[in-house]
Structure 1
Amino acid sequence: MPMTTTEDQRFAPPLAHVEDVAPAEPALAGRGIRLGAAIIDAVIAGAAGWAFAMIPWFASISQAHLKAAEQGMWTWNPMGLLIGIPIFLLIQGWPLVTRGQTIGKMLCKLRIVRTDGSKVDAFRLLGLRYGIGSLTGVVSGFAMIYGLIDSLLIFRGSRQCLHDTIADTKVIQL
Structure 2
Amino acid sequence: MEELSIGSLFMSEENPYTPPVNQVEDPPIQSAVPSSHNYATLGARFLGRLIDVLIMIPLGLVIGSGYALVSPPKFIAVEKASDLFSMGATGYGYGEALLLVVLSMAAYIGIQWTFWASTGQSIGKKVMKTQVVNLDGSQASAKTIALKRFAIMNLIGNVPVAGSLVSLIGVLLIFRRDRNCLHDDIAKTRVVKFAASSQ
Partner of residue 79 from structure 1, selected from 96, 99, 111: 99
Supply the distance in 1 between the matched residues of 2:75 and 2:131 (Cα, whole angstroms).
35
Corresponding residue number in structure 2 for 1:4: none
Tell me what 1:98 maps to. Answer: 118
1:80 is aligned with what amino acid?
L
Higher gyration radius (CA)? 2
TM-score, structure 1 length as denominator? 0.75
Gaps of at least 5 residues in structure 1 are: 1-7
Of the candidates 56, 59, 76, which is equivalent to residue 68 of structure 2?
59
Q: Which amino acid aligns with 1:78?
A: L
Tell me how large the CA RMSD over aligned residues is: 3.0
**Equivalent AA in structure 1 for residue 23 of structure 2:** E
Match of 1:3 in 2: none
In the alignment, is the contact (CA less than 8 A) between 2:121 and 2:132 conserved in 1?
yes
Task: Give the count of matched residue pairs.
Answer: 160
Please give the residue correspondences for 1:6-155 in structure 2 after superposition, counting only pairs within 5 Å: 16-19=20-23, 21=25, 24-26=28-30, 27-55=38-66, 58-60=67-69, 63-64=72-73, 71-74=83-86, 76=94, 77-155=97-175
**Aligned equivalents of 1:62, 1:114: Cα separation in 2:** 42
Output the CA distance in 1 between the equivalents of 2:130 and 2:161.
Answer: 30
**Identical amino acids, percent of aligned pairs:** 28
Q: Give 3-state SS (helix, strand or coil) of 2:39's partner.
A: coil
In terms of fraction of residues, the more helix-rich structure is: 1
Change (3 A) 1:61 1:169: farther
Residue 122 (structure 1) shift: 2.9
TM-score of the pair, normalised by structure 2 = 0.67
1:5 counterpart residue number: none
Which amino acid is 2:68 matched to? A
* SS at structure 2 position matched to 1:140: coil
Shift, 1:87, TM fit = 1.4
* Cα distance in 2 between the residues matched to 1:103 and 1:128: 18
